[in-house]
Structure 1
Amino acid sequence: MTVDLGPDLDTDLTSVVAEQRDPLLFATVSGAHLYGFPSRDSDVDMRGVHLLPVTDLVGLREPEETRSRMWFRDGVEMDLVTHDLRKFVRLMLRNNGYVLEQLLSPLVVHTTDTHAELVALAPDVLTSNHAHHYRGFANTQWRLFEKNGELKPLLYTFRVLLTGIHLMRSGVVVAHLPTLIGEVDAPAYLPDLVAAKAEAEHGGADVGHARVAADVERLHAVLDEAQAASVLPGSHTAYDALHDLVVRVRLQGLNGLQG
């Protein structure tokens, strides 16, 4: 299976799935490629879900609910992080926009019927409280930008604020910054920053601090307003359906079936 990550990086990732010792229910590309501002030397961040066997969950040893590995293929740094299905679903239920972006990423490396079921249930997980996730993520990235002055955390700051605003207004998760620029009231200089990031992964931000600080403060206020006016519910309604899915898929695994 080939995932098109742009003209400079078209990487065959089929073997990555085959190398996993437990079934992968899905794997997608996240990070800068998903966000629409990869640079020439950006690594490939893959995220997904694996399915632990029942014996790993009922014995005395702590289950390996999260797995991470990093390697190089054809000179490209590859990173794969997966959670066991139960842990991933619990994260979905905690107003975690990050895992929803991974689940809904259009850059799909591997998929199964279980992946499709999780995607179908994603709208029932969305709440107005997801604004807190994006607000906090933006604050973290802004502090990093103020510390190192690099373009990357500044773009992350704008990306998560715009994602949060768009989600509150539309009920749809969009993580792709160039798309968001066209749909949300974004600073006019953002396309130039995206273009600059394509040339240097850790380059500096060629824009005045006072100007971007004012825009970040404005977007925080817009996010607050969008949350207050959002038609998204205050709590999710997906708990029972997700519980049933986890049980069913785990039992299928016990019987030697896959997602």
Structure 2
Amino acid sequence: MTFDINKIDRELQRIEQEEGVRILYACESGSRAWGFPSKDSDYDVRFIYVRPTDWYLSLFEKRDVIECPISDQLDINGWDLKKALNLFRKSNPPLLEWLQSPIQYMEQYLITERIRALSPLTFSPRSSMYHYLHMAKGNFREYLQGDYVKIKKYFYVLRPVLACGWIEAYGSMPPMDFEELVQRMVPESTLKQEMMTLLTRKKAGVEFDLEPKITVINDFLERQIAYFEETAKHIVVSEEKQDAALDALFREALKEVWGS
């Protein structure tokens, strides 16, 4: 069944009206943003929103996420700006990926660009590498053991492993696009040819089932996971925070959206 892409805009507008919020930014996350969707992949829409100023002037903690039921190939949920900025302060990789997603559905205000401008100052190579390493280890353990494996799951181990390599090499947030990571991080070799063959098949709409494991890729992943487990321990952790700047960003966003 063909998905009506306009439904995303309608859903975002509905959320604004029903929740009494303003959506600052909305984007695609997951396999579509990473460049390897399946024919039946959901649209994974993530957004950052802000509530009226009075909502934040409370003694009590309130729910800071909006989650919508998954339906008709659409998975959509968002984080309150205050929550997002606190996670940004901790160099949260999923949030950093949202901010650089190649598929953006809404960006109505200047605040998102101001957050991006602070990204190099808040980025933590160590915590980000641990995030991707944890993802790689879990998916490798769950999907890529045995002689026959779920071939499409290679992407969900390869991407975080290559992201770890990018962080080690450049000390910055890795690019979203899987093919760019392969081209930049893997030298010409049989290994690279196997990765690109997988990607070509995926982009062509081939639906992978259980197939014999690809030994050269499995061996690479096993070595790299072990390597980054040691490497991550020795990355220097910066204690510098940008608390004053993030406080100012939060206040600026409230003023920009709701006025004085």
Deviation at 1:35, TM superposition (A): 0.9
**Residues in 1 aligned to 2:110 and 2:12: alpha-carbon distance in whole angstroms:** 16
Corresponding position of 1:92? 88
SS in 1 for 2:5: strand
Tell me which protein shows more helix as a share of its residues. 2
Corresponding position of 1:11? 5
**Where does the alignment leave 5 or more consecutive residues of structure 2 unmatched?**
none
Corresponding position of 1:109? 105
Is contact 1:27-1:46 (8 Å) kept? yes
Write the mapping of 1:11-90 to structure 2, written as runs, cut at 5 A.
11-12=5-6, 13-21=8-16, 22-59=21-58, 62-72=61-71, 77-90=73-86
Structure 1, 22-31 or 90-99: larger mean CA deviation: 90-99
Deviation at 1:145, TM superposition (A): 1.0
236 and 34 in structure 1: CA distance in 2 versus 1, 3 angstrom threshold = farther
**Residues in 2 aligned to 1:173 and 1:165: alpha-carbon distance in whole angstroms:** 9
User: What is the letter of the counterpart of residue 26 of structure 1?
Assistant: Y
Whether 2:191 is the aligned partner of 1:194: answer no
Structure 1, 191-200 or 137-146: larger mean CA deviation: 191-200
Greater Rg by CA: 2
SS in 1 for 2:73: strand
**Where does the alignment leave 5 or more consecutive residues of structure 1 unmatched?**
1-7
What is the TM-score normalised by the length of structure 2? Answer: 0.80
208 and 236 in structure 1: CA distance in 2 versus 1, 3 angstrom threshold = farther
Is contact 1:165-1:226 (8 Å) kept? no
What is the TM-score normalised by the length of structure 1? Answer: 0.80
**Residues in 1 aligned to 2:132 and 2:115: alpha-carbon distance in whole angstroms:** 21
**Residues in 1 aligned to 2:89 and 2:141: alpha-carbon distance in whole angstroms:** 27
Deviation at 1:47, TM superposition (A): 1.1
**Residues in 2 aligned to 1:229 and 1:139: alpha-carbon distance in whole angstroms:** 19
Is contact 2:100-2:176 (8 Å) kept? no
SS in 1 for 2:15: coil
Q: What are the superposed Cα offsets for residues 33-90 of structure 1, whole Å, 9 maximum, x if unpaired? A: 1111001111111112111233433447652311111455xxx511112100111111
Residue correspondences, number: 244
Is contact 2:25-2:105 (8 Å) kept? yes
User: What is the letter of the counterpart of residue 11 of structure 1?
Assistant: I
SS in 2 for 1:27: strand
**Residues in 1 aligned to 2:210 and 2:162: alpha-carbon distance in whole angstroms:** 19
Deviation at 1:227, TM superposition (A): 5.7
SS in 2 for 1:173: coil
**Residues in 1 aligned to 2:44 and 2:219: alpha-carbon distance in whole angstroms:** 31
**Of 239, 242, 246, which residue of structure 1 is paired with 2:246?**
242
94 and 204 in structure 1: CA distance in 2 versus 1, 3 angstrom threshold = farther
34 and 107 in structure 1: CA distance in 2 versus 1, 3 angstrom threshold = same
Structure 1, 215-224 or 137-146: larger mean CA deviation: 215-224
Whether 2:218 is the aligned partner of 1:219: answer no
65 and 15 in structure 1: CA distance in 2 versus 1, 3 angstrom threshold = same
User: What is the letter of the counterpart of residue 243 of structure 1?
Assistant: D
SS in 2 for 1:149: strand
Q: What are the superposed Cα offsets for residues 163-187 of structure 1, whole Å, 9 maximum, x if unpaired? A: 2211332224312111111100273
Structure 1, 52-61 or 168-177: larger mean CA deviation: 52-61
